[in-house]
Amino acid sequence: MGIFKLEDKVICECSKALLLALGQKDEHTQLHSERVVAISEELGFSIGLNKNQIKILRISAAFHDIGKIGIPDKILLKSTPFDDEEWKTMQSHTLKSEELVKTLHFENSEIIANAVRHHHEYYNGKGYPDKLKGKEISIYSRILSLADSYDAMASPRPYHDKRSHNEIMSILETENGTKHDPKLFKEFKLLIEKSKHKVD
């Protein structure tokens, strides 16, 4: 029993330290990751994930973009569109996140590594890095993708303004079944209305 508590504490401290390191490079991504933890957890609870699954989900959310530590600043912080080479480098953050999680050897770190690797897969198989389709993408990655998309659109970036809740929901509606899992989106629509993470 005690050992599990210690491991939970270690994981928590590790994720805080690594998110802080990410924040020293790119504060936006640190804050984004923290909000993705909270939104993912709400979605996880609402679809009935158990305590252990919620723990896996929370760690996966905390680490989903941690690989951005390894992306050069001139690309990570760029405010104009990427060329093909830059886009490929940016996409590699999923593999870097996976690599980092794998070195931590947490309980369930294989599942967490897989979840972060696939957080940019699309339900229709058009995402990256492995072009997985539908349920080939783990439930954790499908949840992360929705939480990530909502929060990314809710925050102002150099290349787009912050969008309103209604604007975000209509964009997500167009991505329903292509980028996102329709069943999950149905749950998300219900929970976000009551969520403290709902933006104006």
Q: Which residues of this protein are in contact with Fe ion, per CB under 5 A?
A: 65
Q: Which two tokens stand for residue 75?
A: 């690309």
* Nearest approach, Cβ of residue 36 and Fe ion (Å): 9
* Nearest approach, Cβ of residue 50 and Fe ion (Å): 26
> Cβ closer to Fe ion: 10 or 158?
158
* Nearest approach, Cβ of residue 199 and Fe ion (Å): 19
> Cβ closer to Fe ion: 107 or 197?
197
> Cβ closer to Fe ion: 68 or 163?
68
> Cβ closer to Fe ion: 65 or 181?
65
Rounded CA-CA distance 199/166 in Å is 9
CA contacts within 13 A on the Cβ side of 23: 12
- Beta partners for residue 176, in sequence order: 180
* Nearest approach, Cβ of residue 154 and Fe ion (Å): 15
Nearest position to Fe ion, beta carbon = 65
Rounded CA-CA distance 4/6 in Å is 5
Query: How far from 47 is each of 63, 171, 178, 184, 188, CA to CA, in Å?
Result: 22, 22, 20, 8, 9
